Structure 1
Amino acid sequence: MQVFNKSKDLQKQINALKTKNYTIGFVPTMGALHQGHLSLVQSALQENDFVLVSIFVNPTQFDNPEDLNKYPRTLERDVNLLKTVSNQLLVYAPTVDDIYENTVTSKHFDFNGLEHEMEGKFRAGHFDGVGTVVKKLLEIVKPDKAFFGEKDFQQLQIIKTLVKKNNIPVTIIGCDIYREPNGLAMSSRNERLSESARNEASFIYKTLQQAKIYFGTKSANEVVKWVEKQFSNNKTLELEYFTIADETNLKPVKRKSKSKTYRAFIAVYTENIRLIDNIALN
């Protein structure tokens, strides 16, 4: 498995593959890899001749410096984990300087208002940071397809908008949420949870599943109030937000329409660790 730290070396290898008409799949990550990431890599391998995995903890998408400092950096472990999937992968593990050169700042993006909903209300500048690094990575890698998990569904919609607005020639593929046996959406943050908190956090997905059932017969507002009540009665999980939104524009639903698709989004704190999840409702 080849691991590249510099974009110029990586691009030389990618250009050599493209001259032979090989297709390139891309899975961008921030490392601390788990089975959810590996499922993205497996999807990419099924659809492309070669797959590149980037491992880069992007400083510009953290609104909390403490969160950035605590984010696990486990490159050697990550590479060994990727080897269990395939030895034919390419890995790009750049330094901050290789991505940002001398200026570690975000560009400002207009994502048609998607950036102001949900996560955007609670994480100032987050999606500018995401847009900045994803655009840079796509320009470096020039993949045919890039694969993102639906756990970050808002981010997925924003990246699709980024690609469309900037005419970047890549197909963005959304992949199903990979869950732990108890239903908790798999995340690198889960490793920081105590065993009891990890077990208790299964309540998040159970509540989403019940909300989906209720959405079939109740109004969006009634479902939101029901979810808020469930968490007000929970002593270990603190609800930050629960929203039912139109999948296309991410606007909160006021009145249901049979012609639209909806999704429920949630953010919860436990042990000062923030967990997010979502579920398709129809």
Structure 2
Amino acid sequence: MRALARLGLFGSIARRPSPALALFCRNMTTGLPPSPIPLFPTVASYRVWRRKAFDEKKSVGFVATMGALHEGHLSLVRRSLAENDLTVMSIFVNPAQFAPHEDLATYPRTLPRDLELLTAISVDTPFGPRSASAVFVPTVSEMYPSGITQSVAEQKGTFVEVKGYGHQMEGRTRPNFFRGVATVVTKLFNVIEPTRTYFGQKDIQQALLLRRLTRDLLLSHPEPQNLFIVPTARDPSTSLALSSRNAYLSPHEREHAAPALYAALQAAQSAWEANASKADCVARAVAVIEETQRKLGDSADIRLDYVDMNDPESFDVLPDGTSRADWEADVGGRPVILSGAIWVGKTRLIDNIVLSRSAAFTKPC
């Protein structure tokens, strides 16, 4: 008890437990790691906290994650801290967005380290320093009270699907992925009730689809204009897009093979800016992947999944003969999404570049 008191876990009046001790004890009894940030494993416990924020008229920023945090996630948190009174993160590995053959069982789960990283973040604002206010860490049964299986044909209960926008780009390779994403994020928005929410550009199709979802479902928390898309965070030495799945890569793969995707997209970008056709742009990108594979030989396995260029509103593929001049003459200032995916060994990596003359594309609609 004296040791706890020295740590500030007891109040000074009649040994009344301090809020820090109450939080510590609650985390221990729920099996959660100790954390100075309030952890909410249930919807009911979080909603008590959220009602208080509503009563105090405080804005709440939200960053949804599956954990295994990296600088990309933390950049979203910093943006939220700068723009909101309170910031909430969710950490939940969502089974509904994994196909039966995908890596649900092996996806990195690093909650103690995640909380350490989150606790270390503080942002100075005109209103004083801000740090993360709460973390929502639900169980699978809390998020899917009707149960969940990875087989869509066997699922029961309520699911959300954004019709006509989930089969292109990433949806071509992962056909039920966006159904799982739309379902879990709708649930999270219902629980968290964020004033603003932040998603990374690396998952550009996901972010644009969710912005459409907020508009189509007439959501008020957040409203569509308060869903922000933040530029992709990259490794400073290789420009590899930061991703939790990068943990699967060997050091050799991470340094020499994985960066080929972004290099390929940059080659396609240069061709597009020189007014090459879409088919030529894609061919330039494919050539970069093939040349990297040739140079690495048997030391790394690189396989191209796709490289393509899509309309950001419909996600439709651009015709092969379309050039930048053709596109701009047809649709004006609307950008193009240049995206791709490769396999490096057993790890699938994605990336994209927004081809636009306007920096406002990823701002709210």
The TM-score bracket by the shorter chain reads: over 0.9
SS at match of 2:99: coil
CA displacement at 1:232 relative to structure 2: 3.0
Q: Which amino acid aligns with 1:121?
A: R
**Who is 1:203 aligned against?**
260
Distance (Å, rounded) in 1 between the aligned partners of 2:180 and 2:87: 24
**Who is 2:64 aligned against?**
28
**Who is 2:170 aligned against?**
119
Q: Which amino acid aligns with 1:187?
A: S
**Who is 1:245 aligned against?**
310
1:224–1:243 Cα contact (<8 Å) kept:
yes
Structure with bigger gyration radius? 2
CA-atom RMSD in angstroms: 1.4
Q: Residue by residue, what CA displacement relative to the aligned partner does 1:149-200 show, whole Å, maximum 9, x if unpaired?
A: 0100000111011111111111211101000121000000111100110012
Greater relative CO (CA pairs within 8 A, separation 6+): 1
Distance (Å, rounded) in 2 between the aligned partners of 1:197 and 1:262: 29
Query: Are positions 1:179 and 2:238 aligned together?
Result: no
Distance (Å, rounded) in 2 between the aligned partners of 1:62 and 1:205: 25
Query: Are positions 1:212 and 2:234 aligned together?
Result: no
Query: Are positions 1:264 and 2:319 aligned together?
Result: no
**Who is 1:191 aligned against?**
247
Give unmatched runs, 5+ long, in structure 2.
1-36, 123-130, 149-154, 294-300, 357-365
Q: Residue by residue, what CA displacement relative to the aligned partner does 1:196-226 show, whole Å, maximum 9, x if unpaired?
A: 1001211211221121111012011111122
Q: Residue by residue, what CA displacement relative to the aligned partner does 1:87-116 show, whole Å, maximum 9, x if unpaired?
A: 442101110011111322475544252211
Distance (Å, rounded) in 2 between the aligned partners of 1:80 and 1:101: 30
Q: Which amino acid aligns with 1:91?
A: V
Q: Percent identity?
A: 34
Distance (Å, rounded) in 1 between the aligned partners of 2:199 and 2:343: 23
Distance (Å, rounded) in 2 between the aligned partners of 1:64 and 1:175: 30
Answer with 94-103 or 45-54: which moved more: 94-103
**Who is 2:184 aligned against?**
133
Q: Which runs of 4+ in 1 moved over 3 A?
A: 105-110
1:3–1:90 Cα contact (<8 Å) kept:
yes
Distance (Å, rounded) in 2 between the aligned partners of 1:32 and 1:166: 30
Answer with 111-120 or 68-77: which moved more: 111-120
**Who is 2:45 aligned against?**
9
Q: Residue by residue, what CA displacement relative to the aligned partner does 1:23-70 show, whole Å, maximum 9, x if unpaired?
A: 000000000001100000000111110000000000000014450001
Give unmatched runs, 5+ long, in structure 1.
none
Q: Which amino acid aligns with 1:133?
A: V
TM-score, length of structure 1 as denominator length: 0.96
Count of residue correspondences: 282
SS at match of 2:194: coil
2:61–2:194 Cα contact (<8 Å) kept:
yes
